[in-house]
């Protein structure tokens, strides 16, 4: 927040410059969740952030969303500094974020009705989206009556209906079983290819990251983690996610990136074990 937005930054959908986030601990101390994060996402790009547990992946996403303010550093979106919620972004949460007291169609149309669209127009648009995600017969159900996969589809429709320029996704499919997850990934990729949206996708699953993305960013072990590597994924599109894991390019990239990620994962594991033995 200290410096005005630079003109050359305006081409990035999301731009984090030297962002550090410090949290207060209940004991009165503080710890750094992430340190000196630089992240640049061009419009229309699919970028994944991968890192071991506790590496502050969600913190980065929340700063890009404007739900968290960085302790130092700046966040810009299309050249505008982000103050409060980032209006050009939609967010898909890891947990269920559908309002349980609203039916599927009311959940999907929420973003439109809150923006002042008339209820009938919002419903028409919602029905179009429900059809797209294969839920047109479930419009009047409540979320607790749906399966996990159907709830995620509803969440996809809810996030996309407002036509955001940026999609922030925090391990959106991690709670799903493997088969449902692959289907959802395929559908997500299809939706995204028809659009020109920037996606920032958080996952702890390297396979998923490589299969989906244009770029994979590796975070170091937490706390106070920072970006330790960035890899361009040049597997041609459109990709067939059900076959991609056998693609030689995929295998090479996976080996290369895993070599780097492995180090961070084992560091996280080591420090967790140390803490355990300290406590014992």
Partner 1 sequence: MTVAPASKNSQRFPLRKEQNPAAVQRPKRKRPDASNFSIRMGQLGLAVAVLGAWELLGRIGVIDPFFFPLPSDILVTVWAWISTGFVFPHLWITLQEAVLAFITGATAGLVLGFLLARVRLLERLFDPFLQMFNALPRVVLAPIFLLWFGLGIWSKVAFGFTLVFFIVFFNTLEGVKSVDRVLVDNAKMLGASEKQLLRHVFIPSALTWIFSSLHISVGFAITGAVVGEYLGASAGVGYAIAQAQGVFDTEGVFAGMFILMVVVLIIDLGVNRVERHLLRWRPPQQSS
Binding residues vs partner 1 (CB under 8 A): 65, 67, 85-87, 89-91, 93, 95-103, 110-111, 114-115, 142, 144-145, 158, 162
Q: Which residue number, 90 or 213, has a Cβ lying nearer to partner 1? A: 90
State in angstroms the smallest separation of the CB of 91 from partner 1. Answer: 4
User: Please, which residue, 104 or 265, has the CB nearer to partner 1?
Assistant: 104
Q: In what order do the strands lie in the sheet with 227-232?
A: 89-92, 166-170, 198-203, 46-50, 215-219, 227-232
Nearer to partner 1, 162 or 228 (CB): 162
Q: In the complex, what is the shortest distance from the CB of residue 93 to partner 1, in angstroms, rounded to a whole number?
A: 5
Least distance (Å) between residue 24 CB and partner 1? 15
Q: Is 217 exposed, middle or buried (0-12, 13-18, 19+ CB in 10 A)?
A: buried
Q: Which is nearer to partner 1, 88 or 181 (CB)?
A: 88
- Give the C-alpha separation, 39 to 219, whole Å: 11
Least distance from partner 1 to the Cβ atom of residue 104, Å: 11
Minimal distance in Å, beta carbon 15 to partner 1? 19
Q: Give the per-residue SS3 of 100-154.
A: CCCCHHHHHHHHHHHCCCCHHHHHHHHHHHHHHCCCHHHCCCCHHHCCHHHHHHH
What is the spatial distance between Cα 97 and Cα 99, in angstroms, rounded to a whole number? 6
Which residue's CB is nearer to partner 1, number 20 or number 94?
94
């Amino acid at each position: 927040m200290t410096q005005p937005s630079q003109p050359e930054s305006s081409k990035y959908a999301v731009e984090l410059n030297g962002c550090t986030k410090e949290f207060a601990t209940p004991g009165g101390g503080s710890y750094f969740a992430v340190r000196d994060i630089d992240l640049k996402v061009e419009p229309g790009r699919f970028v994944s952030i991968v890192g071991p547990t506790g590496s502050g992946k969600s913190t980065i996403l929340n700063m890009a969303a404007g739900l968290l303010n960085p302790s130092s550093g700046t966040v810009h979106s299309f050249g505008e500094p982000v103050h409060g919620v980032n209006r050009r972004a939609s967010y898909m949460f890891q947990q269920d974020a559908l309002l349980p007291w609203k039916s599927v169609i009311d959940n999907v149309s929420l973003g439109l009705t809150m923006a002042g669209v008339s209820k009938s127009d919002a419903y028409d648009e919602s029905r179009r989206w429900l059809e797209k995600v294969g839920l047109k017969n479930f419009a009047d159900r409540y979320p607790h009556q749906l399966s996990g996969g159907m709830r995620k589809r509803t969440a996809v429709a809810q996030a996309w209906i407002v036509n955001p320029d940026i999609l922030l996704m925090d391990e959106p499919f991690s709670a799903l079983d493997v088969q449902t997850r692959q289907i959802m990934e395929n559908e997500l990729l299809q939706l995204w290819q028809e659009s020109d949206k920037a996606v920032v996708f958080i996952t702890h699953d390297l396979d998923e990251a490589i299969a989906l993305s244009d770029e994979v960013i590796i975070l170091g072990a937490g706390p106070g983690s920072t970006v330790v590597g960035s890899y361009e994924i040049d597997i041609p599109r459109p990709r067939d996610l059900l076959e991609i894991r056998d693609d030689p390019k995929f295998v090479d990239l996976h080996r290369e990136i895993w070599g780097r990620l492995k180090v961070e994962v084992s560091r996280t594991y080591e420090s967790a074990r140390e803490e355990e033995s300290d406590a014992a």
